[in-house]
Structure 1
Amino acid sequence: MSSTGVNGSSTQPRLRKGRADAAPNKQVEEVKVHNFAEEEDITIEAVEKVIAPIFFTVLAFLTRMYKIGVSDIVTWDEAHFGKFGSHYLKREFYFDVHPPLGKMLVGLSGFLCGYNGSFEFKSGDHYPPEVNYTFMRVFNATFGALCVPVAYFTAKSLKFSTAATWLVTLMVLCENSYATISRFILLDSMLMLFTFTTFLGLAKFHTYRTKPFTIGWWFWMLFTGFNIGCVTSVKWVGMLTTALVGIYTIQELWEKFGDLKMPFATYMKHWAARIICLIIVPMAIYMLSFKLHFMILENSGPGDAQMSSLFQANLKNSPLTKGPLDVAFGSKVTVKNMGYGGGLLHSHVQTYPEGSEQQQVTCYHHKDTNNDWVFVPVRTDAPYDHEGEIRYVKSGDKVRLIHDMTGRNLHSHNIAAPMTKNEWEVSCYGNDTVGDDKDNWIVEVVKDTHRDKKVHTLTSTLRFRNEPLGCYLRAANVALPQWGFKQIEVACAPDTVVWDRFTHWNIEQHTNDRLPPAEATSYRSPFLRDFVHLNVAMMTSNNALVPDPDKRDDLASRPWQWPVLNVGLRMCGWGNDTVKYYLLGNPIVVWSSTASLGIFALLTFIYICRWKRQYRDMTREQFEYYVYSGLYPALGWALHYFPFILMARVTYVHHYLPALYFAIMTFGFLFDYITSRVFGKLTYILRPVSYVFAYAAVVGVFWLFSPISFGLTGDHEDYSYLNWLSTWTI
Structure 2
Amino acid sequence: MLSALLRQEVKVTEKRTEQARQPEGGGRLYAVVWWLSLVSLVIVTSLLRYYQIGDPPAVTWDEYHFLRFSQHYLNGTYFQDVHPPLGKMIIGGIGYLAGQNRTQLVNVKHVYQYPYDQWYIFMRMGVATFGILQVITSFLTVWEISRSLSAAFMTAVLIVCDPAAHALNRLVILDPILLWFILLSTFCGVKFASQRHNPFGLRWWLWMTATGVALGLTMAVKYVGAFVVALIGVQAVYDLWEQYCDLTASLWNLVKHVLARCVGLILVPLLLYLATFALHLQILDKGSTMPGIGLGSAQFRLSFPDNVIGQRTPPVVMYGAQVTILSTVPAIGYLTTSYDLYPPEFTAEHQILSFDMNMDELNAWAFKHADDEDIVDLRSPDYVPEPVMHGDLVRLLNVFTERHLQTHRLPAAITKHMYMACGYGEIGEFPEGGVWRVLVDDPSAEPGVTPLSAIHPGFRLISNRTGCALRPGISKYPEWGYHAWEAACDPKGLNLNDPSQVFQIDENVNPRIPAENLKERFQLSTIQRIIEMHRVMFASNQRLTFYEFEGEEGIQKHLSSRPWMWPVLYRGCPGHASDMHSLYFVGSPQVYFLNLAVLGLLPVLAVSYAYRRARQTTQTEPSRLVEGVVFLATGWALHYLPFWAMGRILYFHHYLPAFFFSTMITGLLTDAAIGRLEGFLRPGLRGFVRPTVVAAFTAFYVNSFITNWALAFGLVTVDDEAHPETIKDHFYFDSWLL
The alpha-carbon distance between structure 1 residues 635 and 355, as it changes in their structure 2 partners (threshold 3 A), is farther
The alpha-carbon distance between structure 1 residues 283 and 251, as it changes in their structure 2 partners (threshold 3 A), is same
The alpha-carbon distance between structure 1 residues 249 and 494, as it changes in their structure 2 partners (threshold 3 A), is farther
Whole-Å separation in 1 of the counterparts to 2:693 and 2:618: 24
Structure 2 residue 485 is the aligned partner of structure 1 residue 487: yes
Contact 2:167–2:585, Cα closer than 8 Å, also in 1 = yes
Contact 1:141–1:184, Cα closer than 8 Å, also in 2 = yes
Deviation at 1:35, TM superposition (A): 13
- Partner SS state of residue 75, structure 1: coil
Match of 2:587 among 585, 591, 602: 585
State the partner residue of 1:303: 292
Deviation at 1:83, TM superposition (A): 0.9
Match of 2:396 among 398, 401, 409: 401
Q: 1:725 is matched by which residue type in structure 2?
A: F
State the partner residue of 1:312: 301
Structure 2 residue 695 is the aligned partner of structure 1 residue 692: yes
Match of 1:446 among 418, 433, 442: 442
Deviations 1:583-619 (A, max 9, x none): 23233222211221111123224445666xx434996
Whole-Å separation in 1 of the counterparts to 2:618 and 2:324: 70
State the partner residue of 2:732: 724
The alpha-carbon distance between structure 1 residues 436 and 583, as it changes in their structure 2 partners (threshold 3 A), is closer
Q: 1:668 is matched by which residue type in structure 2?
A: G
State the partner residue of 2:260: 273
Match of 2:505 among 504, 507, 526: 507
Matches within 5 A, 1:17-56: 40-56=25-41
Q: 2:436 is matched by which residue type in structure 1?
A: N
State the partner residue of 1:85: 70
Deviation at 1:408, TM superposition (A): 5.2
- Partner SS state of residue 621, structure 1: coil
Contact 2:710–2:730, Cα closer than 8 Å, also in 1 = no
State the partner residue of 2:705: 702
Deviation at 1:308, TM superposition (A): 1.7
- Partner SS state of residue 197, structure 2: coil
Single out whichever of 694-703 and 363-372 deviates more from structure 2: 363-372
Deviation at 1:437, TM superposition (A): 8.3
Whole-Å separation in 2 of the counterparts to 1:223 and 1:640: 21
Whole-Å separation in 2 of the counterparts to 1:13 and 1:237: 39
Whole-Å separation in 2 of the counterparts to 1:401 and 1:643: 46
Whole-Å separation in 2 of the counterparts to 1:459 and 1:110: 40
State the partner residue of 2:601: 599
The alpha-carbon distance between structure 1 residues 507 and 517, as it changes in their structure 2 partners (threshold 3 A), is same
State the partner residue of 2:358: 366
- Partner SS state of residue 546, structure 2: coil
State the partner residue of 1:20: none
State the partner residue of 1:555: 559
Matches within 5 A, 1:628-667: 628-667=627-666
Single out whichever of 458-467 and 418-427 deviates more from structure 2: 418-427
Deviation at 1:560, TM superposition (A): 2.4
Whole-Å separation in 1 of the counterparts to 2:528 and 2:402: 36
Contact 2:355–2:484, Cα closer than 8 Å, also in 1 = no
Deviation at 1:105, TM superposition (A): 1.2
Deviations 1:532-585 (A, max 9, x none): 22222222222222234522444333322221223343434474xx24443232
The alpha-carbon distance between structure 1 residues 315 and 199, as it changes in their structure 2 partners (threshold 3 A), is same
Deviation at 1:491, TM superposition (A): 4.5
Deviations 1:50-69 (A, max 9, x none): 44323322222222112223
State the partner residue of 1:100: 85
Whole-Å separation in 1 of the counterparts to 2:477 and 2:121: 41
Return 5+ residue gaps in structure 1 as ranges. 15-32
Deviation at 1:200, TM superposition (A): 0.5
Deviation at 1:168, TM superposition (A): 0.7
Contact 2:329–2:500, Cα closer than 8 Å, also in 1 = yes
Single out whichever of 688-697 and 264-273 deviates more from structure 2: 688-697
Deviation at 1:495, TM superposition (A): 6.4
The alpha-carbon distance between structure 1 residues 272 and 546, as it changes in their structure 2 partners (threshold 3 A), is same
- Partner SS state of residue 342, structure 2: strand
Deviation at 1:88, TM superposition (A): 0.8
State the partner residue of 1:434: 430
The alpha-carbon distance between structure 1 residues 269 and 469, as it changes in their structure 2 partners (threshold 3 A), is farther
Single out whichever of 560-569 and 95-104 deviates more from structure 2: 560-569
Deviation at 1:283, TM superposition (A): 1.7
Deviation at 1:304, TM superposition (A): 1.4
Q: 2:384 is matched by which residue type in structure 1?
A: E
- Partner SS state of residue 620, structure 1: coil
Structure 2 residue 675 is the aligned partner of structure 1 residue 676: yes
Contact 1:124–1:572, Cα closer than 8 Å, also in 2 = no
Contact 1:4–1:162, Cα closer than 8 Å, also in 2 = no
- Partner SS state of residue 363, structure 1: strand
Whole-Å separation in 1 of the counterparts to 2:653 and 2:605: 29
The alpha-carbon distance between structure 1 residues 114 and 359, as it changes in their structure 2 partners (threshold 3 A), is closer
Matches within 5 A, 1:237-256: 237-256=224-243
Deviation at 1:81, TM superposition (A): 0.7
Contact 2:560–2:649, Cα closer than 8 Å, also in 1 = yes
Structure 2 residue 165 is the aligned partner of structure 1 residue 178: yes
State the partner residue of 2:544: 545
State the partner residue of 1:343: 333
State the partner residue of 2:625: 625
The alpha-carbon distance between structure 1 residues 529 and 47, as it changes in their structure 2 partners (threshold 3 A), is same
The alpha-carbon distance between structure 1 residues 595 and 4, as it changes in their structure 2 partners (threshold 3 A), is closer
- Partner SS state of residue 725, structure 2: helix
Match of 1:332 among 322, 325, 336: 322
Whole-Å separation in 2 of the counterparts to 1:289 and 1:637: 28
Q: 1:149 is matched by which residue type in structure 2?
A: I
Contact 1:5–1:11, Cα closer than 8 Å, also in 2 = no
Matches within 5 A, 1:516-527: 518=516, 522=520, 524-527=523-526
Single out whichever of 66-75 and 192-201 deviates more from structure 2: 66-75
- Partner SS state of residue 401, structure 1: strand
State the partner residue of 1:133: 120
Matches within 5 A, 1:449-468: 453-464=450-461
The alpha-carbon distance between structure 1 residues 445 and 131, as it changes in their structure 2 partners (threshold 3 A), is farther
Single out whichever of 64-73 and 671-680 deviates more from structure 2: 671-680
State the identity as a percent: 28
Aligned length in residues: 699
CA RMSD of aligned residues (A): 3.8
TM-score (norm: length of structure 1): 0.85
Structure 2 residue 272 is the aligned partner of structure 1 residue 293: no
Contact 2:214–2:269, Cα closer than 8 Å, also in 1 = yes
Whole-Å separation in 2 of the counterparts to 1:606 and 1:254: 25
The alpha-carbon distance between structure 1 residues 718 and 362, as it changes in their structure 2 partners (threshold 3 A), is closer
Return 5+ residue gaps in structure 2 as ranges. 719-723
- Partner SS state of residue 10, structure 1: helix
Matches within 5 A, 1:61-80: 61-80=46-65
Deviations 1:374-410 (A, max 9, x none): 211233x898553442212244544333344565554
Q: 1:479 is matched by which residue type in structure 2?
A: S
Contact 1:569–1:582, Cα closer than 8 Å, also in 2 = yes
- Partner SS state of residue 682, structure 1: coil
Contact 1:361–1:427, Cα closer than 8 Å, also in 2 = yes
- Partner SS state of residue 12, structure 2: coil
Deviation at 1:145, TM superposition (A): 0.9
Whole-Å separation in 2 of the counterparts to 1:366 and 1:389: 32
The alpha-carbon distance between structure 1 residues 146 and 385, as it changes in their structure 2 partners (threshold 3 A), is closer
Deviation at 1:470, TM superposition (A): 7.4
Contact 1:75–1:124, Cα closer than 8 Å, also in 2 = no
Structure number with the bigger relative contact order (C-alpha 8 A, sep ≥ 6) is: 2
Deviations 1:224-273 (A, max 9, x none): 11111111211111112212112222222223222222222221121112
The alpha-carbon distance between structure 1 residues 590 and 264, as it changes in their structure 2 partners (threshold 3 A), is same
Whole-Å separation in 2 of the counterparts to 1:150 and 1:694: 21
Whole-Å separation in 2 of the counterparts to 1:34 and 1:45: 8
Contact 1:180–1:710, Cα closer than 8 Å, also in 2 = yes
State the partner residue of 1:22: none
Whole-Å separation in 1 of the counterparts to 2:200 and 2:540: 43
Q: 1:65 is matched by which residue type in structure 2?
A: Y
